[in-house]
């Protein structure tokens, strides 16, 4: 059985380039809707960044949030995928939001 972190990393791998998801959305998709802080911890512990693209995980409302390799690098990685950031938020957040399907 995969650990919580492994489950989160697998879910993050499903976020396509040019899209973002939220800590809250990932927690919900993992079956632990209140574990958004644990999702942040999983992102911080990601041994495969940026291959496992934790830079695509943002706070609710599109705020950039943190990144283990620095917020400026997160913004550069997002920009390389066509995602613009202004005033610390993803521009066009709702259109960029990736939601996981529920069964």
Q: Which residues are catalytic?
A: 54
Tell me the C-alpha to C-alpha distance, in Å, between residue 77 and each of 20, 36, 53, 57. Answer: 12, 22, 9, 12
């Amino acid at each position: 059985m995969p650990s919580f972190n492994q489950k989160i990393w697998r879910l993050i791998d499903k976020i396509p380039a040019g899209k973002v998801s939220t800590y809250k959305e990932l927690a919900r998709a993992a079956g632990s809707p209140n574990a958004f802080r644990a999702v942040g911890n999983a992102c911080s512990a990601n041994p495969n960044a940026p291959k496992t693209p934790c830079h695509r995980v943002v706070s609710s409302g599109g705020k950039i949030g943190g990144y283990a390799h620095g917020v400026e690098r997160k913004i550069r990685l997002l920009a390389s995928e066509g995602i613009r950031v202004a005033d610390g938020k993803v521009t066009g957040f709702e259109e960029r939001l990736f939601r996981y399907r529920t069964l």
